Structure 1
Amino acid sequence: MNTASIISKVWSFCHTLRDDGVGYGDYLEQLTYLIFLKMADEYARPPYNREIGIPPGYGWQDLKQRRGAELETHYLQLLRRLGTSTGMLGQIFTKAQNKIQDPAKLYRLIDMVDSTSWVTMGADVKGDIYEGLLEKNAEDTKSGAGQYFTPRPLIRAMVECVRPEPMRTIADPACGTGGFFLAAHDFLSNRDNYQLDRTQKQFLKNQTFHGHEIVANTRRLCLMNLVLHNIGDIDSEGNISPADALVAPSPRTYDYVLANPPFGKKSSMSFTNEEGEQATEELTYNRQDFWATTSNKQLNFVQHIRSMLNSSGRAAVVVPDNVLFEGGAGETIRRKLLESTDLHTILRLPTGLFYAQGVKANVIFFDNRVASPDRWTKTVWYYDYRTNVHHTLKQKPMRFEHLADFIQCYNPSNRHERRPTWNPDTSPEGRWRCYDAEELLARDKASLDVFWLKDKSLTDLDNLPEPEDLAEEIIENLEAGLASFREVLAKLGKHD
């Protein structure tokens, strides 16, 4: 089968299952199990002859020869048995369930996977198939999968600015489906950027990337996504930890951290109370290496990411607006960031980029520095890509080209040689300017929540966005408001 026919077949079967109520997420999950089993079978044969650790009686050949009720029964047993395995095999099949109730359609899916040689297929082809399904799954807002999917154009722009180098380590403490790792891998593999030798290629494949993901299903998708993109090996332990990254200091430090920690301000833990009811409890991480103790998840991730960096490490992190202006612990953390790191760049993002509705976010770029009596941050450069910018997920999605001007202003080749595009007299609409750190520290609560451009929508009624863009933006804001009200209502119910 050629590339186009494989992609067409995978997608068409997805639509067939949707008629039976099997969503993109469930389809992707079953496809992950089956592709992994088929690849294990291919690796077990010449010329590879590799032992993946699948117990006798539970391999691909044992599965594909069954039909009907016998197939369904065996598949359930296989999922349970492999879920008790160690290494990547066990992580892929942890808490695995069969979501395809029709044995005939399950067999058709097995037959489809069997007709393709996945090991010899190009990483770009099988990777594109899987990434496409991940994005479709993220669009299903009811499933909540979108919170684990960062827009790929934004990720690519962040990587282009940081410009990771070969033989360096890259970490993500909340890696979701692995988007930052894939973009960094593409950047490092690009022959226009680097000509990697054999040692560098092996390091890129097996030692560069390190992540955390506490949600079992998301971690499963991440591991499969990486393997399909030729990162790691099917018979390795995998470099994605299931542990909560915030619980304890990182056992090692890294050269780069690229991350979009999960949305939502509070860390919480679900449990069953004495009355047998489901309840939640806010988590506060008491860590000696943190500057401030708080239950604000976003602020904790910022502190943790700083602690993950080695003495010359660099970070690019997506954070919501509250990280830039919240008082208390937020102010303490901002002041410490300005003092002990070089917080050199902030990209203000528009709404309409994320599947979580109404999110107002930014990307902060900072470099770690060794201890010094002097403050490290001298100036903070801002790029305002929010004011007078309108994006929606469907009608007007953000593309990589939209961030080309920011990347040029960032000047990745030498960020110490920058020129503002904003001038109050000659270019008042310029989006790129810098602020002295002393000026920012003098603001109320050391707020980094800075804007200088005029919102044209408030004054220019003749140039409003298109009606469909306005409608989608209104819907996003209403849904975000409803989500906030539900959160408040849930908290009130918890205190009754």
Structure 2
Amino acid sequence: MASTKKKAAVATTSRARLASVIKSARDTMRKDAGLNGDLDRLPQLSWLLFLKAFDQRVERVGPLLDPDYRPAIEEPYRWQDWATKPDFSGNELKTFVNDELIPYLAELKGADGDAEDPRNVLSTIFKDVNNRMQSGTLLRDLVNLVDEIHFDSSDDIHTMAFLYESILKEMRDAAGDSGEFYTPRPVNRFMVQQSFLRLGESILDPACGTGGFLVQAYEDLVQRVETDTQRRQLHDDIRGIEKKSLPYLLASMNLLLHGIGAPRLVRENALLQMRDATAADRVDVVLTNPPFGGEEERSVVDKFPKGYQTQETSWLFVHAILDQLKKGGRCSIVLPNGSLSDGGVGARIKQKLMKECNLHTIVRLPQGVFAPYTLIPSNLLFFEKGRPTEEVWFYEVSLPEGRRGYTKTKPLRVEEFEPCVEWWGGEKRESRKEGGNAWKVPATEIEKAGFNLDVSNPHVGEDLDHRSPEELVHELIKTESEILGLLEEMRQELGGISE
């Protein structure tokens, strides 16, 4: 009877109600001495949410779709076996979770090499999961709150996904302060939109983080699905690689909430994974923001051909992606300004890129898109494999009028890409014109310049000759004042990041 009442309530679950449950869960976790900040609290909430969603969306639905379905989790480790018992609390619950549940899930084994087997998904997620809560009583309270969240309808899943992404953003903000930078949603959306995805194409993010590109690609394509066969194929086509355990867990949860029951995510060093890939592993589309500024281990660098070996991670990703793409495949990738002007190995990889692919567009982002965590200017490169580059089009996205940069409270907005989308000229890139924010450079000129792709907008400053010295000085003072104000705002935000 109680179960019936609970399901009836779920049918009218509102976003406000789910938000209230999530807030109560976070308040509960704040009371526990074992959790310090969102970088502890969100993973704790995520693996519990994952088990609840997995039980409801996979284990209970599986037998309805397949009479031969074999549950991935056996008794007494199913959510319904332990999480729904209010009297199972305190040290007894904590001991069960720490010593039995998590070790059991971490040791599950599915079909060899089958990343989609739910047992392999679970074991990959839970091999690095820890219950950080010290109080078994607070853990019971948290489990009770998670059990109030239901995934019975697509509306509930959509609402929960929206809320989950909002707290993911907070976690990304906290992670950024620790040196990890995640792609802003407007950039994800623009890159997916301008990749012109089609159903039936395999899509890979080899540095998937918490799954932002994959979720955006899925949301774009799932609207076109008309049959169950197409839906299953789409689930199979959305693929990711992530080296770190926390983003892997968060990405798995993110994709599960968006309707992909067994996400095709691999927890591995993507550079090794791609270097060991076969022709059968090649994909149609790569969407990614690889780590940059870091250095790889010698054993990883040695996997690459002589002449292309570098410890700069971003260039190793570009090289690996060139081999990962099918002929006719395409890529959208984020790279920093510094990489575009690199000589040496970087120049050789750019030469290889332009010889094997049509590097048709470079979108130059305004400085501070990733603020307040880094002010490094970044670029979006779009290329297609199969024929060499003849010319490269550049488009410079302008800051909104009156703005000198971005902050956490005033970030980049998706509307700021609209002029670029209009200029783009559709999938065939027709009717592009130079002027203002757009210019093109022949490949021969880029080659003569040592494959330097850090090409400044030639149209900037055209009106300087027509302005008086007084106007220029006034503009300079105004700019400096705005920069100082921006830096002060960033300093206050960084100082105010809560635990």
Counterparts in 2 of 1:211 and 1:119: CA distance versus 1, 3 Å: same
Q: Equivalent residue for 2:270?
A: 245
> Alpha-carbon deviation of 1:104?
2.3
* RMSD, matched Cα: 2.8
Q: Equivalent residue for 1:373?
A: none
Counterparts in 2 of 1:331 and 1:476: CA distance versus 1, 3 Å: farther
Counterparts in 2 of 1:309 and 1:475: CA distance versus 1, 3 Å: farther
Aligned residue type for 1:382:
F
Deviations 1:339-392 (A, max 9, x none): 22100111112232226422221111110015xxxxx21111111226896332
Q: Report if aligned partners of 1:255, 1:313 keep a CA contact under 8 Å in 2.
A: yes
Confirm or deny that 1:129 pairs with 2:159: no
> Alpha-carbon deviation of 1:35?
1.9
How far apart are the structure 2 equivalents of 1:224 and 1:83?
Answer: 16
| Bigger Cα displacement from structure 2, 465-474 vs 335-344 | 465-474
In the alignment, which of 433, 442, 458 is matched to residue 448 of structure 2?
442
> Alpha-carbon deviation of 1:195?
5.8
Q: Equivalent residue for 2:234?
A: 204
How far apart are the structure 2 equivalents of 1:47 and 1:118?
Answer: 15
Counterparts in 2 of 1:46 and 1:381: CA distance versus 1, 3 Å: closer
> Alpha-carbon deviation of 1:177?
1.0
> Alpha-carbon deviation of 1:451?
0.9
Confirm or deny that 1:32 pairs with 2:49: no
Q: Equivalent residue for 2:4?
A: none
Q: Report if aligned partners of 1:351, 1:386 keep a CA contact under 8 Å in 2.
A: no
How far apart are the structure 1 equivalents of 2:307 and 2:442?
Answer: 23
Unaligned runs of 5+ in 1: 269-280, 371-375, 423-429, 478-496
In the alignment, which of 366, 378, 386 is matched to residue 383 of structure 2?
366
Q: Equivalent residue for 2:438?
A: 432
SS at match of 1:391: coil
In the alignment, which of 254, 267, 276 is matched to residue 296 of structure 2?
267
Pairing of 1:161-310 with structure 2 (within 5 A): 161-190=194-223, 194=224, 196-205=226-235, 207-231=236-260, 233=261, 236=262, 238-247=263-272, 248-251=275-278, 252-268=281-297, 283-288=300-305, 292-310=308-326
TM-score (normalizing by structure 1): 0.82
Pairing of 1:385-424 with structure 2 (within 5 A): 385=397, 390-420=404-434, 422=435
Deviations 1:414-471 (A, max 9, x none): 2143112x1xxxxxxx11111111112111x221111132499985136433764243
In the alignment, which of 125, 130, 138 is matched to residue 105 of structure 1?
138
How far apart are the structure 1 equivalents of 2:246 and 2:409?
Answer: 30
Confirm or deny that 1:69 pairs with 2:85: no
How far apart are the structure 2 equivalents of 1:466 and 1:168?
Answer: 44
Pairing of 1:349-364 with structure 2 (within 5 A): 349-354=365-370, 356-364=373-381
Deviations 1:139-192 (A, max 9, x none): 114763743x211100100111111011111011111111111111111133xx
Counterparts in 2 of 1:458 and 1:403: CA distance versus 1, 3 Å: farther
Q: Equivalent residue for 1:494?
A: none
Q: Report if aligned partners of 1:343, 1:365 keep a CA contact under 8 Å in 2.
A: yes
How far apart are the structure 2 equivalents of 1:410 and 1:291?
Answer: 35
Deviations 1:220-242 (A, max 9, x none): 111111111012x2xx4x41112
How far apart are the structure 2 equivalents of 1:81 and 1:468?
Answer: 54
Q: Equivalent residue for 2:106?
A: 83
SS at match of 2:166: helix
Unaligned runs of 5+ in 2: 1-12, 110-119, 465-470, 495-499
| Bigger Cα displacement from structure 2, 179-188 vs 453-462 | 453-462
How far apart are the structure 2 equivalents of 1:114 and 1:22?
Answer: 23
Q: Report if aligned partners of 2:308, 2:348 keep a CA contact under 8 Å in 1.
A: yes
The alignment covers a number of residue pairs equal to 442
Q: Report if aligned partners of 1:178, 1:226 keep a CA contact under 8 Å in 2.
A: yes
> Alpha-carbon deviation of 1:263?
2.7
How far apart are the structure 1 equivalents of 2:61 and 2:290?
Answer: 42
Counterparts in 2 of 1:44 and 1:184: CA distance versus 1, 3 Å: closer
How far apart are the structure 2 equivalents of 1:326 and 1:226?
Answer: 36
